[in-house]
A = this chain, B = another copy of it.
Amino acid sequence: MRDLPLSKVYQLIEPGPVVLLTTGHDGARNVMTMSWHMVVDFNPPLIACIVSDRDHSFVALRATKECVIAIPSVELAAKVVAIGNCSGREVDKFATFRLTPKTDGRVSAPLIAECFANIECRVVDTRLVNKFGLFVLEGLKAWVDPLKKNPKTIHHQGFGRFVVDGDTIELASRMP
């Protein structure tokens, strides 16, 4: 085995799919690109994610305790990267990237019509926010677009390199 620098560990473990996280606060909405999230529990669905205090979305997420996780397929990859390379401090990202916000959900954050799935979430634990930017979310309502068939998600490997979903395999398993 070869020695790998610790600074590259995140490229090994970085989860997928890359998602978008939206917030709505004080009449403004925003969206950020996020790769650092995981499932915490099945039902109700709990999801942990990292939103740094350097992210513009941090203040809105902490204040409203609400967000939407929107899942893009590979067709949106260029927009996903561009969204992650600018800040809501300077740009109205929904307008700039021609994303269609849907605000008829139950949370203050908009859904994104172009994504194949959207999960409306509320923050349920903030104990690790100050130290790690780690929010625990509960999924309140989830949506999928049945017109977007077999969406392929993307997984970040660092520095703009993404692996796209490939073949699917089925193995007998007792695990949900």
Binding site for B on A (CB under 8 A): 1-10, 12-17, 19, 33, 35-50, 69, 71, 74, 77-78, 81, 84-85, 111, 117-119, 125, 127-128, 131-132, 134, 136, 139-146, 152-176
Contact = CB atoms under 8 A, between A and B. Distances in A.
Contact of A16 (B15, B118, B176): B15
A4 B117 contact: yes
Given A12-B142, A15-B15, A125-B128, 13 more contacts: A2-B144, A9-B47, A9-B139, A10-B39, A13-B47, A13-B69, A13-B119, A15-B37, A41-B132, A85-B174, A160-B175, A161-B169, A166-B166
A147 B36 CA distance: 29
Give the number of copies in the complex. 2
Contacts of A139: 6, 9
Given A16-B15, A74-B169, A169-B74, A46 B132 contact: yes
B163 A171 contact: no
A23 to B, nearest CB: 17
A111 B2 CA distance: 13
A168 B160 contact: no
Contacts of A165: 155, 163, 165-166
Q: What 9 A-B pairs are tightest by C-beta distance, nearest first?
A: A166-B166, A15-B15, A160-B173, A9-B45, A38-B38, A1-B143, A4-B142, A9-B139, A10-B39
